[in-house]
Amino acid sequence: TLGLILISSGLFAQDYFLKTSCNKKASEIANAAVEHMLNLEMPIALGMAKSALLVDESCGCAQLTISAISSNNDWGSRKTKLSKIDPTSLSKEEKVWYNYQMAADLNERTKIVDAAEGLFPDSPFIAALRGNLNPRDFTFYPEYVKRFPDHSSFAYNMISYGIMYGELGDSDYEQAKNNIDQSIQLHDGPNVYDSNAEHLASLGQYDDALQSQLKAVDYAAWGSVYGNMARIYWMKSNKAEV
């Protein structure tokens, strides 16, 4: 899946926030939730954010993750969830994210990020917000990797799309796969396998696409958001039997 990060040798991520409003354990879990969110693994992010709130019910990072992955303010529950957060209890970085989610339009969000980057130049999360302003600006992701190599699972995944789309040089699956592999080294999650399957399917390699997609499904087979594409790749690979 195309989208807009925990070093997977351990259970939890490196910190995306320099400081959260959560206690130590809840902060570890909330940072893991943020990583899954950035990798577009929203059900996992939701579960981890709720887990953080079991440890610390006032964990702002977890509350903001849950609101961020909800439907938008126009027809979803994001605004309602944000209204239940006390902004005065948030860390300074969390307050930026709160204001970002409350912003009325892209212009306002851009101003918020512009100001925040000056205040928090070493914050991996604030830097990631810049990419969220225009996710299809593929030139953002190599620069993010240079600044925050240990937090760049989502960025490597996006670079793979930029390469396959010809936005970062010539389209080249092997180069894209190198970035997929870098993403896998940094993060344990299903989305990157879905992305690799998408790249392979675009080349007509449906057998290989199916094998990669099944790795995504394997993270949680029942009700998996990746199951539908696995069925499609299977049908493409077995036309004679369908």
Torsion (CA) 84, 90, 96, 101 in degrees, nearest 10: -10
The pTM is what? Answer: 0.89
For the chain, first and last CA: distance in Å? Answer: 26
- Split at pLDDT 50, 70, 90, the class of 97 is very high
Nearest Cα neighbor of 159 from 197, 199, 121 is: 199
Given this model, what pLDDT does residue 5 score? Answer: 33
Provide mean pLDDT across the span 104-131.
97
Q: How many residues does the chain have?
A: 242
Kindly state the tokens that stand for 23.
């206690």
Q: What distance in Å separates the CA atoms of residue 215 and residue 7, rounded to the nearest whole number? A: 19
Q: Retrieve residue 46's tokens.
A: 């939701």
Q: Find, among 29, 38, 79, the residue nearest to 59 by Cα.
A: 29
Q: Are 93 and 120 in contact (CB under 8 A)?
A: yes
Domains and CATH numbers, the chain: 15-133 (1.25.40)
Using pLDDT thresholds of 50, 70 and 90, give the confidence band for residue 128.
Answer: very high
Amino acid letter, 178: N
Give me the pLDDT at residue 242, please: 59
pLDDT average, residue stretch 208-227: 89
pLDDT band at 41 (very low <50, low <70, confident <90, very high): very high
**Which pLDDT belongs to residue 121?**
97
